[in-house]
C-alpha cells in the first residue's frame, strides 16, 4: 500500500465517523420531540407547548417570555399568571377582539404588525397555554382529557 491510499482511507474513515455521529445526533433530537397524542403528563404538555411556541405556532417571531422589549409584540413574561385561560385562548384565535397597546409609547399605540389568528389546532393551543402558565410559575389549569 502506498502512502497516498493510506491517507485516503484515513480521510474516509474520519468523514464516515463524523457523518454517522451527526446522523445519530439528529435522530436523537428528533426523538425528543413529543407528539401531542403521546402526551401523558402536564410537564410533557408544556414541553409540547414550548416546541409549538418556538416552531409551528410562530409565536417566538414576535414575542419573548424573557421580557425583552420588542417593536413587534408585547413581552409575554408572566402572562400565564396575569391572563385568564379563556382570554389567552381568545387572544390566539381572535387576536383582534382585544388589542393590547404598546404602553411605552406616548400616546399608547398598537404594535406595528397586527397579530394573525393562529393556525394551531385546539389541542395545540391548550399546549401553548400550558407552557405559558408553567413558565409563569403557575399551576397548569388544563386537563389532559381536554385534549381529546
Partner 1 sequence: MEGAAMGKGRQFSLGCVVVFVALFSLIVGCTNKTDNDTSQSSSLVMQGKELFMNYCVHCHGPSGVGDGFNALYLDPRPRDLTDSIEVFMGDLSNDDIYGMILSRDIMDPEESERLLDEALENDTELPFLVPPAMPTFKYTLSDAERWTLVAYLRTLHKNDAPQVDIPATVSTTRPIVSGRKVPSWDMAEEEKITLVERGKALFSDKYNCVGCHMIAGYGGKVGPDLSQSGRRLASDWTYQWISNPQAISSDTKMPNLGLSENEAKAITLYLGTLVSPSTS
Helix (H, G, I), strand (E, B) or coil at 110: strand
Distance, in Å, from the CA atom of 40 to the CA atom of 74, rounded to the nearest integer, reads 32
Told to check if 109 binds partner 1 by CB under 8 A, we report no
Question: Is the backbone peptide bond immediately before 61 cis, with ω within 30 degrees of 0?
Answer: no
Footprint (CB under 8 A) of partner 1, residues 39-78: 78
Which residues, other chains included, contact 78 with Cβ-Cβ below 8 Å and sequence gap of 6+?
Answer: 67, 136
Distance, in Å, from the CA atom of 72 to the CA atom of 12, rounded to the nearest integer, reads 48
Told to check if 99 binds partner 1 by CB under 8 A, we report yes
Told to check if 106 binds partner 1 by CB under 8 A, we report yes
Footprint (CB under 8 A) of partner 1, residues 78-97: 78, 81-84, 86-87, 97
Distance, in Å, from the CA atom of 45 to the CA atom of 63, rounded to the nearest integer, reads 20
Told to check if 142 binds partner 1 by CB under 8 A, we report no
Task: Please identify, among the stretches 6-14, 17-25, 58-66, 106-114, the one whose residues bind partner 1 according to the rule CB under 8 A.
Answer: 106-114
Told to check if 8 binds partner 1 by CB under 8 A, we report no
Least Å from the CB of residue 87 to partner 1: 5
Please report, as ranges, the residues that interact with partner 1 according to CB under 8 A: 78, 81-84, 86-87, 97-101, 103, 106-108
Amino acid at each position: 500500500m502506498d502512502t497516498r491510499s493510506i491517507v485516503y482511507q484515513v480521510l474516509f474513515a474520519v468523514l464516515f465517523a463524523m457523518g454517522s455521529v451527526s446522523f445519530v445526533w439528529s435522530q436523537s433530537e428528533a426523538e425528543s420531540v413529543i407528539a401531542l397524542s403521546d402526551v401523558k403528563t402536564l410537564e410533557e404538555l408544556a414541553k409540547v407547548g414550548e416546541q409549538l411556541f418556538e416552531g409551528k405556532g410562530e409565536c417566538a417571531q414576535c414575542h419573548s417570555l424573557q421580557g425583552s422589549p420588542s417593536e413587534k409584540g408585547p413581552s409575554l413574561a408572566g402572562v400565564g399568571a396575569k391572563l385568564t385561560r379563556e382570554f389567552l385562548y381568545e387572544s390566539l384565535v381572535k387576536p383582534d377582539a382585544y388589542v393590547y397597546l404598546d404602553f411605552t409609547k406616548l400616546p399608547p399605540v398598537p404594535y406595528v404588525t397586527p397579530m394573525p389568528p393562529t393556525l394551531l389546532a385546539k389541542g395545540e393551543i391548550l399546549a401553548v397555554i400550558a407552557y405559558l402558565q408553567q413558565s409563569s410559575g403557575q399551576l397548569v389549569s388544563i386537563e389532559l382529557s381536554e385534549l381529546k
